[in-house]
Structure 1
Amino acid sequence: MTKYAFVTGANKGIGYEAVRQLAEKDYHVFLGARNPELGEKAIESLGLPNVSLVLVDISNAESIQEAFKQIQEVTDHLDLLINNAGIAVDFNIKPSKLKVEALRQGFDVNFFGTFQMIQSFLPLVQKAARGKIVNLTTDMASQTMFDNGEAGPLNLLGYNSSKTAVNSLTLAFSKEFGENGPEIFGVTPGFTTTDLNGNAPGGKTPAEGAEIIVDYALSETNYHGKILNKNGIIPW
């Protein structure tokens, strides 16, 4: 039986590489992209028959519903939902200088967008034999690690706090789902050089970052309700 995965924000970076890696493991992967032209280019460059483009803007409820309908026309179940799409709008901006509009914009995509994706696609994930929802996070969203210097040093109030909220959302849904599933957890790939951080040097490649996410997504170990980095479970 064909396994299906949906990766948002997947026309570039970590999302793109996650699509490629899952497709190579015989998943039919829906590549989520907000921009039709960039989505088509990503599909073309992958050149894989088991990858389909699904247009989705996760900050738009109507767009999410259209994506749901499109996927539902192909399959009645979704084995894997990877909520990868996200933005960071406050690089090099101190918390005291951050405009509230930018803070709202970050939460609108990273938190409310992820929330709406989970709510909307839950019926399809629940129908899979072992459905999983993976939320992308950052080590800087771990209050414990950020405070004691174990995480990245970037004091990005907008990005970091929106991802802390995603961690809270992950925990809340895990409590609701309980042992009956689906399994939901968060993963941080750690510092990865992508467009999100202006391609800052010194990080993992997108392929290396994606590999961490895909390995957890396909793991036989149950990580329900946890947040993880490459070494395992990390503190809230």
Structure 2
Amino acid sequence: MTKYAFVTGANKGIGYELVRQLLEKEYHVFLGARDEELGQQAVESLGFSNVSLVLVDISDIHSIQYAKHRILEVTDHLDLLINNAGIAPDFNIKPSELKVETLRSAFDVNFFGTFHMIQEFLPLVQKAPRGKIVNLTTDMASQTKFDNGEVHQLNFLAYNSSKTAINSLTLAFGKEFGESGPEIFGVTPGFTSTDLNGNAPGGQSAAEGAEIILTHALSETNYNGKILDRNGVMPW
């Protein structure tokens, strides 16, 4: 039986690598992208027949609903929904100098966008034998580890706090789903050099980051409501 996955923000970076690695595991993958041209280029460069482009802007509820209709034309279920799309609009901006519009934009995409994705696609994930929802987060969203200096001390209020809110959202949905499913959890791949951070030097590759995420996403262990890093469950 074919397994289906939907990855948002997948025309480049970690999202692209998530799609590639899932395709190699014989999933049919819906590659989510905001831009049709860039999305189509990504699909063509992958060179697989089991990948479909789905246009989606997660900051727009109508775009999310349209994406759901497109996927329903192919399948009535999703085995895996990976909420990868996100923005980091305040790199190198001090919290005291952050404009409220920038803060709102981070929450519109990272938090509210993820929230809408979960609500809209929940019925499809519930129809899978063991459906999973994976939310991408960051180790800097861990209040405990950030305060203790255990992770990169990049004090980006908009990005970090919107991801902390995603952790809270993950916990809330996890409490609702309980033992009956589906399973929802957050994963941080750790410091990865991508366009999101201006390809900052010293990070792991997008392929390595994607591998960490999929190790947990495809695990037999139930991580419902948890936040994970490369070593397993982490505090938040």
Bin of the TM-score, shorter chain as denominator length: over 0.9
**Structure 2 SS opposite 1:149:** coil
* Distance in 2 of aligned mates of 1:152 and 1:221: 28
Deviations 1:65-96 (A, max 9, x none): 00000000100110000000000000010000
- Map residues 1-236 of structure 1 onto 2, 5 A cutoff: 1-236=1-236
Q: What is the root-mean-square deviation in Å for CA atoms of aligned residues?
A: 0.4
Deviations 1:120-146 (A, max 9, x none): 000000000000000000000000000
* Distance in 2 of aligned mates of 1:194 and 1:120: 28
Deviations 1:199-235 (A, max 9, x none): 0010010000000011111001111110000011100
Q: Which amino acid aligns with 2:30?
A: F
Tell me, which stretches of 5 or more residues in structure 1 are unaligned?
none
* Distance in 2 of aligned mates of 1:148 and 1:56: 37
* Distance in 2 of aligned mates of 1:40 and 1:57: 15
* Distance in 1 of aligned mates of 2:127 and 2:171: 21
Give TM-score, length-normalised by structure 2: 1.00
Q: Which amino acid aligns with 1:128?
A: A
How many residues align? The count is 236
Q: CA deviation at 1:104?
A: 0.1
**Structure 2 SS opposite 1:103:** helix
Q: Which amino acid aligns with 1:178?
A: G
Deviations 1:125-181 (A, max 9, x none): 000000000000000000000000111110000000000000000000001111000
* Distance in 1 of aligned mates of 2:181 and 2:8: 21
* Distance in 1 of aligned mates of 2:180 and 2:34: 33
* Distance in 1 of aligned mates of 2:24 and 2:186: 23
Q: Which amino acid aligns with 2:142?
A: S
* Distance in 2 of aligned mates of 1:214 and 1:26: 14
* Distance in 2 of aligned mates of 1:125 and 1:152: 34
Q: Which amino acid aligns with 1:81?
A: L
Q: Which amino acid aligns with 2:43?
A: I
Q: Which amino acid aligns with 1:88?
A: A
- Indicate the percent of aligned positions where both proteins have the same amino acid: 80
* Distance in 2 of aligned mates of 1:48 and 1:12: 16
**Structure 2 SS opposite 1:107:** helix
**Structure 2 SS opposite 1:135:** strand
Give TM-score, length-normalised by structure 1: 1.00
* Distance in 2 of aligned mates of 1:150 and 1:231: 14
Q: Which amino acid aligns with 1:14?
A: I
Q: CA deviation at 1:33?
A: 0.2
Q: CA deviation at 1:99?
A: 0.2
Tell me, which stretches of 5 or more residues in structure 2 are unaligned?
none
**Structure 2 SS opposite 1:52:** strand
